Chains A and B, each alone.
Chain A
């Protein structure tokens, strides 16, 4: 889910950036440092939308660097356990399938796929019901529920399920 939040960060600026463009330099450094990063607490920082406040700079002892506390607004994307979202399938194999929702990767294990769907290997591996009416393959859109999340250095990875009511395929690319 997307959130609009206010975060604070201490930015260190080299004296070469001082001058009349100090604020612009600080803002562009903030955007380079923060956009595209990922943390367990806030999720992916998708974009910085504005600067709320830039505090007074503090000169660090021994170096010429100055630390500015910057409060900024940003859009973040963070998945939560129990959240329902719609994702696009990127890969299917006998262990389950991978899907993507924005910058987040989600894995749905075959144990969390309804029992009446079976894995069919081939050029286009897929999960299909016994009567062939519902198929999950690459580029299918599925509605799933997040049941767990994990963060490493650069991305968030989730485990999802489609075994509950009202979950499963929304859009089969084969029928388009």
Chain B
């Protein structure tokens, strides 16, 4: 009836204190779940678990209303993944502040994460183009200039995400010449790097080849990635970088 992750939620707070065997079993399940959820999850779980061990009065009722946090494993940088697996954890009992902060201080219900619109594991459609931040700045600034003319119509207002997106793109755009940046990254496409990997390199502007491999571990397993081509592209890119 209940999944394994709910067992920890409904476990009576007094029982572990009375029964060592049950305590061992409970700890085993806790460890198994924390391996599943990763480091961050285990810290939250351990806090929630300790909370219920301390036998606080409302731990059982609170954990019954515990929130489900789902982390997506999908990404364009990971090729060959056809469907993602969602790792879920339930933070129970007195997770308290840690629990709230991990959820971003929001009290969204688990049903929201189930609706298809909100699932982050869905793949993007085929005809997409990755944009580097400097390219996005160009496009968004053009739209902003148009909006100045249209702003006489009071019903048209730019959303907050536009302002934040433009500000972010401007602050992270590091280059003086957009076309030259694209040209210097073209050889990387011939090496077999995906669009998204090239965009990350363009956005981050690594200084060395080792930095590229550290930030994009998926490149390490590819045989045809030529270190020399990568090095040349990075040195070309560095020429167009704006002074700090």
Contact = CB atoms under 8 A, between A and B. Distances in A.
B106 interface: yes
Contact of A5 (B108, B127, B132): B127
A47 B163 CA distance: 10
A102 B118 contact: no
Given A4-B128, A105-B104, A107-B102, A166 B161 contact: no
Contact of A40 (B119, B155, B211): B119
How many residues of B sit at the interface, in one of the four size bands?
35 or more
Contact of B118 (A39, A47, A75, A83): A39
Nearest to A45: B161
Interface stretch (B70-78, B181-189, B230-238): B70-78
Interface of A: 1-7, 28, 31-32, 35-36, 38-42, 44-47, 49, 75, 77-78, 80-86, 88, 93, 95-96, 100-103, 105, 107, 109, 111-112, 143, 145, 147-153, 156-157, 159, 164-166
A3 B128 contact: yes
A149 to B, nearest CB: 5
A35 B158 contact: yes
Contacts of B112: 152-153
B124 A78 contact: yes
Interface in B107-135: 108, 112-113, 116-125, 127-133, 135
Given A46-B140, A157-B106, 8 more contacts: A2-B131, A39-B118, A40-B119, A40-B122, A47-B139, A80-B74, A80-B77, A81-B78
Contacts of B106: 152, 157
Interface string B23-51: 00000000000000011100100000000
B152 interface: no
A36 B106 CA distance: 19
Contacts of A42: 124
B120 A5 contact: no
A102 B156 CA distance: 21
Q: Taking each of B127, B165, B169, B206, which has the highest tally of chain A beta carbons within 10 Å of its own beta carbon?
A: B165
A102 B112 CA distance: 23
A4 B143 CA distance: 14
Interface stretch (B1-9, B13-21, B57-65, B196-204): B196-204
Given A40-B118, A84-B215, A103-B161, A151 B113 contact: yes
A21 to B, nearest CB: 13
